[in-house]
Amino acid sequence: MKKSNWVYLVGLSFVAFFVSWIGTGFLDIAQSAPLIELEQRPPKVWITAGEATDELLFTPPPREFLERAPQTANITVTYAGVWDPQAQTAFEYAVSIWETQITSSIEIKVIAEWANLGAGILGGAGAANSDKNFPNAPIANTRYPIALANKLAGTDRYTAPDNCDTSVTINGPDICASFNSAFSNWYFGTDGNPSGKYDFVSVVLHEIGHGLGFFGSMTTGSSCGGTGLGCWGYGFYTDPFVYDRFTENAAGTTLLSYPNNSTQLFAQLVSNGVYFDGPNANTANGNTRVSLYAPATWQPGSSANV
Ligand SMILES: [Zn+2]
């Protein structure tokens, strides 16, 4: 979709996407399966300061949160870098919203870095790892972001020490997130009144969504074997990620029906016509599939995403 509409999606579709993947098949019967190592970390999905110009950059909390819905997930944050206490308070507030919107019996561990990310960047986040064919995996040969894999398996699948390329190391982080200390127009309040500044709570909400698993693994170029080629699995994994299984073109043809590492898939990815088509996402999007950002020039870290 148009990047300028991202705020709308945060409030509406992120939760629906996630719920649509989780379904109702939660089982807490742990089966023995080897724990996983880190092979290839899914890259972060970034958000830039220019993306939202026609909104006030504030995402209202969902109704359930405002009605004090119970906490159904435990998200813990380890902070890297020198954080402003106000920013941390805002971060924890965003986390508390997510904790009422998703359900998992497995702690979701975030490493959140405060760092100079350069001009124009607000932040980025991604899954710290991914897994496939774990106990209770809904779709075979499909990679799941690690927080979701843990939830579905009913066990913590990833426990290895990992620093998310920051200064702190924890056992088995699930989300790696970075926010820009060099950005000068943050609003750290939690009252939803940013007055033209960038509402940090909203940006954190958005990015945690990516970290929980709202990202595809499509990419283009050298990772796929050369210029003009498109592929899934970042060109590293031969299996797609679960998000990819919901992506399609304007005609409704699933992108996974095109050959991997192909010019045909590349053409789709830069077609300005890529959609996420899942039942719950569609319901939350006014009963229509969700348009994804797919400009004619591939944008690393944002194309084929929301
Ligand atoms: Zn995004």
Model confidence over 247-275: pLDDT tens digits? 999 999 999 999 999 999 999 999 999 99
Query: Residue 122 — very low, low, confident or very high, per pLDDT cuts 50/70/90?
Result: very high
95 Cα to the center of ligand 1, angstroms: 17
Q: Phi/psi of residue 47, each to 5°?
A: -130, 135
Based on the domain organization, do 93 and 232 belong to the same domain? no
Taking CA 80 as the corner, what is the angle to CA 204 and CA 42, rounded to the nearest 5 degrees? 60
48 Cα to the center of ligand 1, angstroms: 9
Based on the domain organization, do 149 and 246 belong to the same domain? no
Return the structure tokens found at 40.
């290839």
164 Cα to the center of ligand 1, angstroms: 19
Cα–Cα distance measured from residue 147 to residue 130, given in angstroms and rounded to the nearest whole number: 8
237 Cα to the center of ligand 1, angstroms: 22
Residue 287 near residue 263, CB atoms below 8 Å: no
What is the rounded end-to-end Cα distance, in angstroms, of the chain?
7
147 Cα to the center of ligand 1, angstroms: 18
Secondary structure of residue 246 in the 3-state scheme: helix
Q: Domain ends where: 175, 192, 212? A: 212
Mean pLDDT calculated for residue range 6-26: 42
25 Cα to the center of ligand 1, angstroms: 27
Residue 300 lies in a domain: no
Chain-centre distance for alpha carbon 190: 22
10 Cα to the center of ligand 1, angstroms: 8
Based on the domain organization, do 244 and 179 belong to the same domain? no
Residue for token pair 């809904």: 138
30 Cα to the center of ligand 1, angstroms: 33
Range of lowest pLDDT (39-53, 243-257, 288-302): 39-53
Residue for token pair 């098949």: 25
33 Cα to the center of ligand 1, angstroms: 33
Secondary structure of residue 258 in the 3-state scheme: coil
Based on the domain organization, do 137 and 225 belong to the same domain? no
Closest CA to 127 of 106, 116, 113, 111: 111
pLDDT digits (tens, 9 = 90+) for 143-177: 999 999 999 999 999 999 999 999 999 999 999 99
Residue 152 lies in a domain: yes
72 Cα to the center of ligand 1, angstroms: 24
Helix (H) or strand (E) holding 162: strand 161-162
Where in the sequence is the domain holding 151, given as residue range(s)?
3-212
Q: Which amino acid is at 179?
A: F
Q: Domain ends where: 212, 245, 272? A: 212
151 Cα to the center of ligand 1, angstroms: 23
Q: Domain ends where: 212, 231, 266? A: 212
Provide the total of helices (H) and of strands (E) in the chain, helices listed first.
7, 16
Residue 227 lies in a domain: yes
Secondary structure of residue 224 in the 3-state scheme: helix
Residue 80 near residue 112, CB atoms below 8 Å: yes
34 Cα to the center of ligand 1, angstroms: 32
What mean pLDDT is reported for the chain? 88
114 Cα to the center of ligand 1, angstroms: 18
Closest CA to 19 of 213, 216, 177: 213
Tell whether ipTM is more than 0.95: yes
Q: Considering its fold, how many domains does the chain have in total?
A: 2
124 Cα to the center of ligand 1, angstroms: 8
188 Cα to the center of ligand 1, angstroms: 19
170 Cα to the center of ligand 1, angstroms: 25
pLDDT digits (tens, 9 = 90+) for 53-108: 444 478 788 888 887 889 999 999 999 999 999 999 999 999 999 999 999 999 99
Query: Residue 52 — very low, low, confident or very high, per pLDDT cuts 50/70/90?
Result: low
Based on the domain organization, do 7 and 92 belong to the same domain? yes
Q: Which amino acid is at 19?
A: V
Return the structure tokens found at 98.
């997510």
Residue 305 lies in a domain: no
Based on the domain organization, do 45 and 146 belong to the same domain? yes
13 Cα to the center of ligand 1, angstroms: 12
Based on the domain organization, do 147 and 35 belong to the same domain? yes
